[in-house]
Amino acid sequence: MSRHAVEVRGLTHSFTGKGGQRVKAVDRLDLTIKPGEFLCLAGPSGCGKTTFLRLLAGFMQPTSGSITMNGKRVDRPGADRGMVFQQPTLYPWLDVQRNVELGPKLRKIDPAKRRADAERYIEMVGLSDVTGLRPYELSGGMQQRCQIARVLTNDPDIVLMDEPFGALDALTRERLQNELIDIWRRTGKTIVFITHSVEEAVFLGTRVMVMSPRPGRVVLDKSSVFSPPGEYIDAEKIRTLPEYHALCQEVHEAIH
pLDDT (tens digit, 9 = 90+) per residue, 63-75?
A: 999 999 988 999 9
Query: Looking at the predicted structure, is the pLDDT value of residue 20 above 90?
Result: no
Asked if 204 and 177 count as a contact pair (C-beta separation under 8 A), the reply is yes
Question: What integer pLDDT is reported at residue 92 of this predicted model?
Answer: 96
3-state SS assignment for residue 22: strand
Instruction: Place 239 in a pLDDT band, splitting at 50, 70 and 90.
Output: confident
Q: What is the pTM of this model?
A: 0.93
Query: Looking at the predicted structure, is the pLDDT value of residue 256 above 60?
Result: yes
Rounded to a whole number, what is the largest CA-CA distance in the chain? Answer: 55
Instruction: Place 133 in a pLDDT band, splitting at 50, 70 and 90.
Output: very high
**Domain spans of the chain, in order of start:** 1-80+158-167+188-255, 88-155
Instruction: Place 205 in a pLDDT band, splitting at 50, 70 and 90.
Output: very high
Q: What residue spans of 60-169 are helical by DSSP H?
A: 96-106, 111-124, 140-153
Q: How far apart are CA 206 and CA 33, in angstroms?
A: 11
Q: Is the peptide bond before 215 cis (omega within 30 degrees of 0)?
A: yes
How do residues 120-132 score in pLDDT, each as one tens digit? 999 999 999 999 9
Percent with pLDDT over 90 in the chain: 79
* Secondary structure (DSSP) of 31-59: EEE-TT-EEEEE-STTSSHHHHHHHHHTS
Question: What integer pLDDT is reported at residue 235 of this predicted model?
Answer: 74
**Mean pLDDT, to the nearest integer, of 230-252?**
83
Question: What integer pLDDT is reported at residue 2 of this predicted model?
Answer: 47
Instruction: Place 1 in a pLDDT band, splitting at 50, 70 and 90.
Output: very low
Instruction: Looking at the structure, give the CATH architecture of the domain made up of residues 1-80+158-167+188-255.
Output: 3-Layer(aba) Sandwich (3.40)
3-state SS assignment for residue 203: helix
**Mean pLDDT, to the nearest integer, of 161-174?**
92
In Å, what is the CA distance from 121 to each residue of 56, 96, 163, 212, 254? 24, 11, 21, 36, 37
How do residues 23-54 score in pLDDT, each as one tens digit? 899 999 999 999 999 999 999 988 999 999 99
Query: Looking at the predicted structure, is the pLDDT value of residue 11 above 70?
Result: yes
DSSP 184: H
